[in-house]
Structure formats: structure tokens, C-alpha cells
Structure 1
Amino acid sequence: MKKTKKETLITSFALFSMFFGAGNLIFPPFLGKNAADTWHWVAFGFFITAVFIPILGILAHARLQGTMYDFGKKVSPTFSFIYCFVVYVISVALPAPRTASVTHEMAIQPYFETDSLFTSSIYFALVLAFVMNRSKILTLIGRFLTPLIIVILLSIICIGIFSSNTISTPTIFNTPFVSGLFEGYQTFDAIGAVVIGGVLVISMNFNKNTSFQEKKELITTSGLIAGLGLLIIYAGLIYNGAIFGSTFPKEASRSEILSSLSSQTLGNIGTTLLSVLVALACFTTAVGIITGTSDYFKSLFNNSEKAYTITAIIGCVLGIVIGQFNVQFIVDIAFPALMFIYPITIILILLNLLPTKLATPTMFKAVVLVTFVFSIPDFLQFFIDKESLVRIQNIIPFSKDNLGWVLPALLTFLVIRFSSKKEA
């Protein structure tokens, strides 16, 4: 079956929508407000961790066309199993429930006097219904939900850009680029890439007539289109956050800034449209996460449909329980987990994009191990006195910016590459 423009567009929309969830909405305007006249540096950092690395993850999936397990199997089967288990647990325990929390705060609470538990229960009941209709997910999301999300977002962005507002507040960031980089972590998009990419591959496998090369071309093209869409939307939201910065309350939360931005650009109807946008964007992301997790545990039990169903139910129950907490609480507890798993995820994505002769099992083992070791101080700072880590951070370059793993990982790659060339 030849790849058609219609298939590519639907797949691109589905991919964009599964990426574009709660964090993708609430973080960019918040960044723009705080960045002010340095918004372009913040945007650059945000693009790397929220667009560039995630899309590379999709391109790696196009090359592998397996599951997330294949991302780490060159390190070792045991490592890959543990990595997948940790990522899926984090995914269903944090970003998936967060989508329900954001939906309640921004789409339900302003209109209805219902508690968050009721919202998360109805929300994840609907998620479960979509997840159980596994073969129709790409079409349902790509054809019907995403176009509406994009139209609403572009309306907010374009009206804001052509308004008379100008940047009139100073930046609060000492290192805008690094601040943008770590706010991009909070979108979970690099982790989302290895989860959602697997959903994409398995969804395509329902069509037995599509060849490996056709699927590779479709996934690659769709990933690039989705990445371009994310880039445009993020840049627009960050810039709007900067030019409207002086109109937001000083201590406004991420959700409040987004709500204010929509009402200032779209008027009274803005709040209603934003509610629809939030609900749709969050919902499609939750569907992608729960589906990806269920796919993985299904594969562990000989493609058992029962395992798929049980995992989906457990994921949705966790979503109901954790999703009733407020957004800021979930954001706060997520960051330590991200500092632990994100560096390893980035390294696995990059290594899986390299030619086989470069990405040898030895290379995988060494670079991943070094990345893990040098990211430990970034993780520990949330649990022990930071003063006790100062000596270590002074030794490791970029460690004070929570990027201490970058240079050691790069040096390890170069040393092994140089050594292997000498041996050859």
C-alpha cells in the first residue's frame, strides 16, 4: 500500500496531538512571561528538549520499528526491561494524571461545582474507552481531534502577535537558555517520544500490507511535520507570554497565565475555547500514554489481550487517584524523576539514530553507564542538603546547571570511537 498524503497528514496530526498535552500548553506562556526580552534564548532551550530531542526519538522509532524495549536492548536485556518498566510507571503515574488535573482546573472548575475526583473518574473512563478501541486510535485522534486543537491555538497566537502589546518587563532568569531547557523536561516529550513512537509503529502494524520502508517513510515524514507544528506553536505561545507579561499577576500560576492569555486575545469566548482546547489536548496525550504502556505489558505476556486490558484499567485507576491532585503538586513531584530518567532517554535516542558500526553494544553500555553515574548528583539534590553536593558540582563541568552528564557522555563516546578505529 503506497503512502498517501492523506495518511501522512492524519498520522502527523495524531502524533502532534499525542505530544501536545498539559505541559505543552501551560509551560510556554509561563516561560515567556518570566523570560521577557530574553524569550528567544528561553525558546531555544525549550525547543531542544521539547521538540528536537522528541522528534529525534520518533525518527529512531522509524529506523527500529520495534517497541521501546528495542531502545535499550544493546545495553542489556535486563537494563532494557528495567528502563521500560521505570519509564512506563513514571508515565502513568505523573504525566497521564496531570492531564486530568489540568483539565479539571482549566476546563471544568470554572463552569461546574464538581470535585476533582469526579472529573478524573469521568475523564479516565473516556480514556479507557479510546484505549480499548486500539486499532482506531490514529484515525480518531488525527482526523477529528487535532485539527480543532490547532485552529484554536493558532487563533490565540496570531491575534496576540498582531496586538499592540510590547515587551515591557525584565527577565527573571540568570541563564535563560538553561531555564528553557529544563522547562522542556517538564513536557515529558522525550519520554513521550519513546512511548508514543511505539504506539505509532504498533498502530501501523494493524495494516499488514504496509512494508518496512513505507512505514519508515511515513513515520519520518509525519514526525518532521509534527515537529514543525510543535515548533511554531511553542514559539508563538512563548512570544505571547513575553509581550503580555506585564498584564499577568506577578505570582500567577502557569494555568492562570494561559487562561488570561486566551481571554485577552479571544475575548469572552476565549475561556470557553481554551476549555475545549485543554480538554482535547490533555485527553489525546493520556490516550497515547495509557495505550503505549498497555502495548508494552501486552508484549511481555505473549501478546495477551488480557494483559493489555488489565494494564489499561490499572493505568486509568492510577490516573483517577493521582489526577485529583492539583497541577503544581504533580509538577513538583515530577521533577526529581525527570532529572533521573531524562538524560538516559536522550542518550538512548541519540545512540539509536547512529549507524550500527558506531552504535555498538560496547558504545551503548559505556555511554549509558557514564550518563547514569554523572546524572546522580542532579537527582540527589532534591533529597539531600545541596551544600554537600557543591564539591562534586565544582569538579564536574556544567553540573551547577544540572547538565553534569553531558560532557562525560560525549567524551566517553569519542574515546570509544577513537579506540575502535585504532583497533580496526
Structure 2
Amino acid sequence: MLKKKEIFVTAFALFSLFFGAGNLILPSLLGFNAGNQWLIITIGFSISAVIIPILGILAHAKLQGTLIDFGKKISPTFSVIYAFLIYSISITLPSPRTASVTHEMAIQPFWDISSWFTSSIYFGLVLVFAMNRSKILGILGKILTPAIILILLLVIGITVFSFSFDFGTTTITSPFTNGILEGYQTFDAIGAVVVGGVIIISINLRHKNATYEDKKSLIRSAGWLAGLALFLIYLGLILSGALVHDNFDANTTRTALLSGLTINSLGTIGNFFLSILVGVACFTTAVGIVTGTADFVRSRFNDSQLAYTITAITGSILGVLMGQFNVGYIIAVALPALMFIYPITIILILLNVTPEKYASPLVFRAVTIVTFIFSIPDFLGSINTVDIAKDTFSWIPLQPYSLGWVLPAFLVFVITNVLTQKKPNSI
């Protein structure tokens, strides 16, 4: 049996890997716009930003493999294509977003420097660290995450006890589904299928003699602890945003609101420290994404160092090009990619945590194909072909909420299992 201390160490590692730029800047503005519906929107946000990612970690606990293993029941080719898509999206959107958040929170408030300059220097350093691996990033992560959490807890605590529980009227039409879709922007479901493999490798290196069940139990316990910590932070930030509805302009940005909350609670010095900590934390995340993507590409090209180098350079160039845009723009641009890849990712996570009896290769293939087909209208709606999506596919349940794939996927799961159970020898 692995010690309880190991559970907390692994839980902290998971929390650190999940807790990035999106986790910091999204919740407070969500609460600000949610008003008196803040609790409903918190539940929706937690489904896609906490529950699904933690289920992804539980799936890794069951598989104890890599990202490739998530789609292996569909086909080896699908697994590779899916992995390439995941890593391509990672270096194109969440990685550059870390530079944008750093500019808006840690550079722009203090120095008159262009975002082009910030993103160029930022990803120049990312490339240096990716090409010259160092343990300093891991050490920084262990120091930064507790420091950021401490400041956020102070901000949340002071805000909650400083304002009366008087909430404004919500500006959001469908708080629950809006919360779910906003949770997509954390990229944590994608993060779960990627970082879960990293955790598996780490545990295997530290505990070479641990049994499959020991490792499974460790990852499960650590996953739920990390999930609880994420939920409490989100709950506090959303509530804080909802409480200050009269103190900020209705058009305030995500980064401006988080900075404003910190200044109101801890003063300018507190905001300065948070900004610096967020900037360095974002940097370690970007290095992790670029390095992880380069490692994956190298593994597909016979461990070629040239493939690693080309990927790291490409990821850094993409980071400069996208990172010079503001956070709001990157979030808007990310929406179509998320509407395309998130439904498939969620389904793969759910199927991989489902007992083997109900998750045959046939079920995997059928449910994934149907999910892909019925998520197309949501994808079209996200690229400004809203009228086409609404008029043509309005008959699909939940389609107006951009969740048109949910019911068809569930029905196909049930039907396929009924057919499969009747034919025990079916594939």
C-alpha cells in the first residue's frame, strides 16, 4: 500500500498541472455576469471544468497508459489522429493564451510595452527552456502554486466578508449551459487526457514495485482531492465576481476584474505579487505544453531530436503569433476548436471510465461517430453560421444550448449496449 502522504503529493501535482491561465481568469467574470444565478452557473462550470477532467484522471487510473490509449478501442489510426489534434490545439491556443494573460496582468499595468514585444520575449525564453530542460521549472511550480492559492484565498475571503450578499440580475440567458460551455475554455478535459499520462509515468518511476491496484487507488484518491480543491477555488472566485457587480464596469475584461478584485482586497502590492506569480506560472505552463508536444512528435518519428527541435520552434512561433492578441480574442478564436474536439474528448473520457462490460470496441466506435456527427451543428454555430445551425438542426434536443450531441450519444450508447448484450461474442 502507498502511504497517505503520497496521495497528497500526487493530488498537489495534479492541481498544479490543471491550474493555469484559464482557471484563474474565467470564474470571476462568469460570476460577475451571472449575478443572482451564480450558484447555477457554478454547477454548470464545475461539470466541464472539474468533474469531466477528474473523470479523465480516473480513466488514466484504469488504463495506466498514455494519451494514445484513450482511443485505442476505436482504432490505432484514430488514436494517433486524435493525439495530434489535441497537441496541435494545445500549442495553438492555450499555450499562446498564457503569454496574453501574462501581458495583460503582469506587464501592461506596469510598463508601456507592446504585446508583440512581450510574446516575442516570452516565447523566446519558452524555446530556450524547452531545448534545455531544467528542474528549475518543477521547483518553481511547487513554490508558485501554493503562493497563488494563498493570495486567491485571501482575495476570496476578504471579498466575501466585505460585501453584503446582494446580487445583481443575471445577464446570461441560460446560466447552467453557459457555465458548462465556459468550462470548455479551461481546456482541463484536454489537460486531463494529457497530464494523466505524465502522472502515470511519474508514479511508475517513483514506485516501481507498486501494484496496478495500488496505483489505481492512488490516482483515484489524488484525483478527487485535486478536484475538490479546484471546485472550492472556482466557487469562491465566481461568488466574489457576483458580489462586486456594482463596483466594476459592465464591459470589464476577465484579467481586469481579477486584478480589480485583488486590488480591492490586498491593495496594489497584493496585485503586483499576484501578477508576477501568475506570469511565472503561465510561463511554466507554456514550457510544459511546448515540451510535451515536442516529446510526442519525437516519439512518432523514431525518437528524432530533429523532430523535437522543429516542433519546439514551431510551437514557439505559433505562440508569438497568437500570444500578441488579447485574452478575449484568443478565447473567441478557441471556441470553434473546442466545440469540435471537446464533445469527442468528453465521450472518450466517459467511455474509458465505464465498466468494460458496457464499453466494447463497438460501443466506442458507434458513440464516438454519433458524437462527432451531432456536434457539427454546434461547431457551425461557433464559426458564425448560427442561422444555418439553428434553422437546419433545430429539431435536435439541446442544440440551441450547443449540446446537441449529448442525447444522441446517450441513446446510441444504450442501444448499442442492448444489442451487444444480446450477442455476447460481438466485437
TM-score range, shorter chain: over 0.9
Separation in 1, partners of 2:239, 2:215:
36
Separation in 1, partners of 2:44, 2:358:
28
Deviations 1:276-305 (A, max 9, x none): 242144234323322332232232123445
Q: Contact between 1:124 and 1:320, CA under 8 Å: does it hold in 2? A: yes
Q: CA deviation at 1:154?
A: 0.9
Deviations 1:331-356 (A, max 9, x none): 11100111010000000000111122
Separation in 1, partners of 2:66, 2:125:
25
Structure 1 pair 414–29 and aligned structure 2 pair: CA distance change class (3 A): same
Separation in 1, partners of 2:385, 2:47:
30
Q: Contact between 2:339 and 2:382, CA under 8 Å: does it hold in 1? A: no
- Structure 1 unpaired stretches of 5+: none
TM-score normalised by L of structure 1: 0.93
Separation in 1, partners of 2:235, 2:408:
31
Q: Contact between 2:163 and 2:243, CA under 8 Å: does it hold in 1? A: no
Kindly provide the amino acid, as one letter, of the partner of residue 231 in structure 2: L
Q: Contact between 1:13 and 1:141, CA under 8 Å: does it hold in 2? A: no
Separation in 2, partners of 1:227, 1:278:
21
Identical aligned pairs, as a percentage? 56
Structure 1 pair 121–387 and aligned structure 2 pair: CA distance change class (3 A): closer
Q: Contact between 2:102 and 2:278, CA under 8 Å: does it hold in 1? A: yes
Q: Contact between 1:53 and 1:190, CA under 8 Å: does it hold in 2? A: yes
Structure 1 pair 146–131 and aligned structure 2 pair: CA distance change class (3 A): farther
Kindly provide the amino acid, as one letter, of the partner of residue 164 in structure 1: F
Secondary structure in 2 aligned to 1:381? helix
Alignment of 1:277-316 (within 5 A): 277-316=277-316
Task: Give the corresponding residue for 2:175.
Answer: 176
Structure 1 pair 115–262 and aligned structure 2 pair: CA distance change class (3 A): same
Provide the aligned C-alpha RMSD in A: 2.2
Task: Give the corresponding residue for 1:336.
Answer: 336
Deviations 1:347-397 (A, max 9, x none): 000011112222111011000000000000011123464223333332110
Q: CA deviation at 1:186?
A: 1.0
Q: CA deviation at 1:131?
A: 4.3
Task: Give the corresponding residue for 1:157.
Answer: 156
Which sits farther off after the overlay, 393-402 or 158-167?
158-167
Matched, 1:230 2:230: yes
Q: Contact between 1:14 and 1:138, CA under 8 Å: does it hold in 2? A: no
Deviations 1:93-148 (A, max 9, x none): 00110011000111111112322233223333444455457684895255322211
Q: Contact between 1:192 and 1:289, CA under 8 Å: does it hold in 2? A: no
Separation in 2, partners of 1:184, 1:392:
27
Separation in 2, partners of 1:43, 1:404:
21
Separation in 2, partners of 1:146, 1:190:
20
Separation in 1, partners of 2:122, 2:215:
32
Separation in 2, partners of 1:401, 1:149:
34
Q: CA deviation at 1:171?
A: 0.6
Q: Contact between 1:135 and 1:206, CA under 8 Å: does it hold in 2? A: no
Q: Contact between 1:17 and 1:142, CA under 8 Å: does it hold in 2? A: yes
Q: CA deviation at 1:57?
A: 0.7
Separation in 2, partners of 1:141, 1:419:
53
Deviations 1:74-94 (A, max 9, x none): 111121111111111111000
